[in-house]
Amino acid sequence: MLVYMTSKTKISKGFQTVVPSDIRKKFDVGPGDILEWKSTEEGAEVRFRKKVTIDDVFGIGDGPETDAVELKKKLQRGEKL
């Protein structure tokens, strides 16, 4: 059974908001990570994309996938390699 938690934040005059701590902890969100917003029929969907670090890129050619274009797309989407 899935349990969904509801958290509320307020938008400031500068159109900023805070990611609630329970959400930050659950999804390991931190400074430099990206929020992707998608408009839906019901409202909006928010997804987190992790900041790519040098450790993520180091040894990129040692993996099973060697197509540079696909590797670049994965990095841009924030996927781990």
The pLDDT, as a whole number, for residue 14 is 95
Which residues, 6+ apart, have CB-to-CB distance to 1 below 8 Å?
none
Give residue-wise pLDDT tens across range 18-63.
Answer: 999 999 998 888 888 889 999 999 999 999 987 766 666 665 555 5
The pLDDT, as a whole number, for residue 57 is 62
Strand partners, 48: 35
Q: ∠ CA(21), CA(27), CA(28), 5° rounding?
A: 80
Kindly tell me if the per-residue pLDDT of 77 is higher than 90. Answer: no
Contact 81, 72 (CB under 8 A): no
**Distance between CA atoms of residues 73 and 79, nearest Å:** 9
What are the residue ranges spanned by the domains of the chain? 21-76
The pLDDT, as a whole number, for residue 61 is 55
